[in-house]
């Protein structure tokens, strides 16, 4: 088994965009594809490693870019500026997600009929927006996402199956926001499930998050381990 990666530059509204595709070259033929959507900082090495982890599980994965080539942030003052632009124009975000999805499907190692998405923090919101927008994706996993609805008309029924992995102490998604998401997805006819982790806050999969010193935003290893296993089970069922 040898996991490989290659950089892909692709077009989309406001592009170009640049992401990293990972696959196991020992596996012959197309296999299910997973779109990996980054957090507030944008496309980075941590996302590329997630793509490689998925490739080691037998998938082909694309750590995509929705901010634009060269538009990356670091923690500190102004770190959310690119995310803020996307939050202010959710329709543009939707279209950039669609372009990233097309780039994934265009890879010869991907079975275009079997595609899912996972996302972290802001990327978790993106996964939910893909479902709300009716993008052609079988399923998605939101890790410590944010649950506010977009300002455009959403699709009913939602056909994308969803797993929401949630830190119970998340200050950006308190319990009433989680209940609201459940009500929204139920009304939309979605096949959804929530795994909530006690004593875990926002960014519980991100080892660098604890260094921010912001209350409620920290790495939590048990929640990371359990949510990754939940994702594995979800994807196995999704592509069965």
pLDDT-based confidence at 29, cuts 50/70/90?
confident
pLDDT-based confidence at 209, cuts 50/70/90?
confident
Give the start-to-end residue ranges of the domains of the chain.
3-238
User: Can you give the pTM of this predicted structure?
Assistant: 0.97
pLDDT of 217-237, one tens digit each?
999 999 999 999 999 999 999
Three-state helix/strand/coil letters over the chain: CCEEEEEEEECCCCCCEEEEEEEECCCCCCEEEEEEECCCCCCCHHHHHHHHHHHHCCCEEEECCCCCCCCCCCCCCCCCHHHHHHHCCHHHHHHHHHHHHHHHHCCCCEEEEEEEEEEECHHHHHHHHHHHHCCCCCEEEEECCCCCCCCCCCCCCCCCEEEEEEECCCCCCCHHHHHHHHHHHHHCCCCEEEEEECCCCECCCCCCHHHHCCCCECCCHHHHHHHHHHHHHHHHHHCC
Mean of pLDDT over the chain: 96
Is the pLDDT reported for residue 127 higher than 70? yes
Question: What CA–CA distance (Å, rounded) separates 87 from 141?
Answer: 20
CATH number attached to the domain at 3-238: 3.40.50.1820
The mean-pLDDT minimum among 12-16, 32-36, 153-157, 212-216 falls in 212-216
pLDDT of 32-89, one tens digit each?
999 999 999 999 999 999 999 999 999 999 999 999 999 998 887 778 999 999 999 9
pLDDT of 75-113, one tens digit each?
877 789 999 999 999 999 999 999 999 999 999 999 999
pLDDT of residue 212: 81
pLDDT of residue 1: 67
């Amino acid at each position: 088994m040898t996991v490989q990666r290659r950089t892909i530059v692709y077009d989309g509204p406001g592009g170009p965009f640049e992401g990293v595709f990972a696959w196991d070259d020992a596996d012959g033929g197309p296999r299910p594809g997973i779109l990996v959507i980054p957090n507030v900082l944008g496309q980075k090495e941590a996302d590329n490693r997630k793509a490689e982890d998925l490739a080691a599980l037998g998938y082909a994965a694309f750590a995509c870019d929705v901010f634009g080539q060269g538009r990356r942030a670091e923690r500190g003052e102004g770190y959310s500026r690119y995310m803020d632009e996307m939050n202010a124009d959710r329709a543009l975000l939707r279209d950039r997600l669609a372009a990233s999805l097309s780039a994934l499907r265009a890879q010869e190692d991907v079975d275009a009929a079997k595609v899912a998405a996972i996302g972290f923090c802001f990327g978790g919101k993106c996964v939910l927006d893909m479902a709300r927008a009716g993008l052609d994706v079988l399923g998605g996993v939101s890790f410590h996402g944010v649950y506010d609805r977009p300002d455009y008309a959403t699709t009913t029924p939602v056909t994308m199956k969803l797993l929401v992995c949630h830190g119970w102490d998340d200050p950006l998604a308190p319990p009433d926001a989680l209940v609201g998401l459940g009500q929204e997805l139920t009304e939309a006819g979605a096949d959804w499930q929530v795994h909530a982790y006690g004593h875990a806050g926002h960014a519980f999969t991100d080892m660098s998050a604890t260094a921010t010193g912001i209350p409620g935003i920290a790495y939590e290893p048990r929640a990371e381990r359990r949510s990754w296993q939940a994702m594995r089970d979800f994807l196995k069922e999704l592509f069965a």
